[in-house]
């Protein structure tokens, strides 16, 4: 069993490292040089590596010492923040909500979905973006309260997850003003001649868009593919290509990116789900999300 770390020894080493010498650190600590030196040697012995090396009248960090200092900086920064954290927890109890956001889910849409809970007093919201399977694993370990995704959780014999529909939004095509007029002419056939930006194949909506192109006999000129929806919109707003987006966020999209709606992908909708570990949701903020299911625009 490893020897527990002596944080007093670590603190003396931390002061020595930041003051560049044992004598200066001893003066700062109001201690004898021999005492500080002995404490640092004890730390080196417990870690099994030299942390300091002599250099002129002072000392320098070894490679192991630099690694130890990096960790010590984080440890003592957390320690300095501890009184404030405890005081805040005691005086302002937080209402916590940990949300997993599936890769590629539009950020403006996530903000809209979470709108019903954002006015909660003392809300402590944590959003984690990751791949769908990775988020479901975190959810199963109860590290997340809910996962927002564009698909339902798969059936799993040993993993009880429940998918709650939040609604669906039609997909429309948008473009910067420089492309909008040309894109509107003979839409959707115009998408065969103009550059098009697409979400990556990881998202469920990409397959629906691909099938929509096939139904219309269109071979799009794909100029870029993006995992991140915000990047897709950013590049689209510069005129790099015409791009798809959910109409739920039409007003925000136009206001923020200065783009124009070109036309709809009829029959193509982005479906949205809140995935949890309970059939009957217990978390009050998740209940609020489900109660505010979004109507189609």
Domain ranges in the chain are: 7-90, 95-166+273-291, 168-271
Architecture of the domain made up of 7-90 = Orthogonal Bundle (1.10)
Which pLDDT score, from 0 to 100, does residue 70 have?
92
pLDDT of residue 189: 96
The 3-state secondary structure of 21-66 reads CHHHHHHHHCCCHHHHHHHHHHHHHHHCCCCEEEECCEEEECHHHH
Instruction: Tally the C-alpha atoms within 13 A of residue 242's C-alpha that lie toward its C-beta.
Output: 28
Question: CA dist 11 to 5, 36, 81, Å?
Answer: 11, 10, 16
Alpha-carbon separation of residue 3 from 42, 47, 79 (angstroms): 12, 9, 21
pLDDT given at position 1: 45
- The answer to whether 105 and 150 are in contact (CB under 8 A) is yes
Distances (CA, A) of 229 to 104, 194, 273, 293: 6, 20, 18, 22
What pLDDT score does 3 carry?
65
CATH number for the domain formed by residue range(s) 95-166+273-291: 3.40.190.10
Walking along the chain (297 residues) 10 residues at a time, the average pLDDT comes out as 78 91 89 92 92 86 93 90 80 84 87 90 90 90 92 78 90 96 96 95 86 95 92 95 94 94 93 88 89 62
Pick the CATH number of 168-271 from 3.40.720.10, 3.40.190.10, 3.40.50.300, 3.40.50.2300: 3.40.190.10
Nearest residue to 16 via CA among 8, 7, 25 = 25
CA angle, 247 then 251 then 257, to 5° = 100
**Tell me, what's the pLDDT at 54?**
87
CATH topology identical between 95-166+273-291 and 168-271: yes
Determine the 3-state secondary structure of 78 from DSSP.
helix
Q: Which long-range contacts link 217-220 to residues 24+ away (Cβ below 8 Å)?
A: 218/188, 218/189, 218/191, 218/192, 219/192, 220/191, 220/192, 220/196
User: Which DSSP state fits 212?
Assistant: H
Cα dihedral angle (259, 261, 264, 268), rounded to 10 degrees? 30
Residue 34, C-beta contacts closer than 8 angstroms, at least 6 positions apart: none
């Amino acid at each position: 069993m490893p020897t527990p770390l002596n944080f007093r020894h670590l603190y003396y080493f931390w002061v020595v490292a930041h003051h560049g010498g044992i004598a200066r650190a001893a003066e700062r600590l109001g201690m004898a040089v021999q005492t500080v030196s002995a404490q640092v040697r004890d730390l080196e012995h417990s870690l099994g590596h030299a942390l300091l090396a002599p250099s002129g009248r002072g000392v320098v960090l070894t490679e192991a010492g630099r690694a130890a200092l990096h960790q010590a900086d984080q440890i003592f920064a957390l320690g300095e923040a501890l009184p404030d954290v405890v005081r805040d927890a005691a005086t302002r109890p937080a209402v916590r909500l940990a949300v997993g956001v599936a890769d590629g889910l539009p950020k403006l849409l996530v903000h809209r979905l979470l709108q019903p809970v954002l006015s909660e007093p003392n809300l402590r919201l944590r959003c984690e973006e990751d791949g769908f399977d990775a988020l479901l694993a975190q959810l199963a370990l109860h590290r997340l309260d809910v996962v927002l995704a564009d698909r339902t959780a798969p059936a799993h014999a040993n993993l009880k997850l429940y998918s709650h529909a939040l609604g669906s939004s039609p997909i429309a095509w948008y473009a910067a003003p420089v492309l909008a007029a040309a894109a509107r002419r003979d839409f959707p056939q115009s998408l065969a001649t103009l550059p098009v930006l697409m979400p990556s194949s990881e998202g469920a909506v990409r397959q629906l868009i691909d099938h929509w192109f096939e139904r219309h006999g269109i071979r799009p000129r794909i100029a870029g593919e993006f995992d991140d929806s915000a990047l897709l919109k950013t590049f689209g707003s510069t005129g790099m290509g015409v791009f798809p987006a959910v109409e739920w966020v039409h007003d925000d999209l136009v206001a923020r990116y200065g783009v124009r709606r070109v036309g709809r992908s009829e029959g193509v909708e982005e479906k949205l789900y809140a995935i949890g570990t309970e059939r009957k949701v217990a978390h009050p903020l998740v209940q609020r999300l489900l109660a505010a299911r979004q109507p189609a625009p």
